[in-house]
Amino acid sequence: QKEGEGEVYLKEKESMPKTPSPESSSSSLNFKESLRKKKFVNHVRRQSSFSFVQENLSKALTETNVTLIVSILTLLSTVILQTWYTIVTRNMHYVGTFHALHSEYASPEMLDAIDTVNDFIFEHGIEHYTDVYMRHKKDRIRAPIKDIDHSRRRVVHWYSKVCLFWEKSLIPVHLLQTFPGPERAVYFIRTFEPLEESSRMIYGGPKNGVFDCLRKMYGIWSEAPEDDANAATCSDNNLGGSNAYCPA
């Protein structure tokens, strides 16, 4: 019976929960604390690493934005300066071309050429000067009209340069509206085209296009009659605005 009670006692003792010893409890607490610290350290490291990466990325993006902005501003300033330089250079070229044309027209040789043709017309009359010119040409009498021919070539050559500069856009249209202007163009067409056509009829050759060029430039479709220079009419000219030969 005592042996049976002893066995029951041992079984009950074994089934009871074991009470941990103070040493094992302390070791378990230290392990948990160490694990907790380790997790905390790892968390701090991860946070520090993320902050570092974020800071560097933000810094890199800031530097990239600054570089991009500087590049764009540099490009814009270059374009503006280049455009300004092109405009100034073009205007200087316009001024130089206009000054050369004006100076040549005002030269003594050009004025003498215009006066020579005007004197010839005044001497023989507006109705007959081309007939006299053709008669001398056909009869090979060059002496009386030698100066007329030289003067004709000089003036026609000057207006041909004006047309060339206009067709090639080497001079602004508003300057051509001012000089030589529609009045001079009408005078030149009325006075020199009959001489030019007379010479072409005798010697042959293509028609000189300077007269049609001036008509197109100033929109002139009929010249003024001899008795009323202001009665000439024209369409809206290519240079804009109106003039004495383009009544509103």
Per-residue confidence (pLDDT) for residue 76, from 0 to 100: 87
What pLDDT sits at residue 205? 82
Dist. CA 198–CA 148, nearest whole Å: 13
Asked which of 87-96, 103-112, 235-244 is least confident by mean pLDDT, the reply is 235-244
pLDDT more than 90, % of the chain: 34
Residue 159 or 233, more confident: 159
pTM summary value: 0.62
For residues 238 and 218, is the Cβ–Cβ distance under 8 A? yes
For residue 234, the 8-state DSSP code is: E
What are the residue ranges of helices labelled H in 16-143?
Answer: 22-105, 108-124, 129-138
Give 64-104 pLDDT, tens digit per residue.
676 777 787 788 888 998 898 888 888 888 888 999 999 99
Neighbours of 214 (CB within 10 A): 23
Q: With bands split at pLDDT 50, 70 and 90, how would you rate the model's confidence at 204? A: confident
Q: How confident is the model at residue 118 (pLDDT cuts 50, 70, 90)?
A: very high
What's the rounded Cα separation, in Å, for the pair 199 and 142?
12
Q: Tell me what the mean pLDDT of segment 187-203 comes to.
A: 92
Q: How many angstroms separate the Cα of 216 from the Cα of each of 32, 77, 87, 166?
A: 103, 41, 27, 11
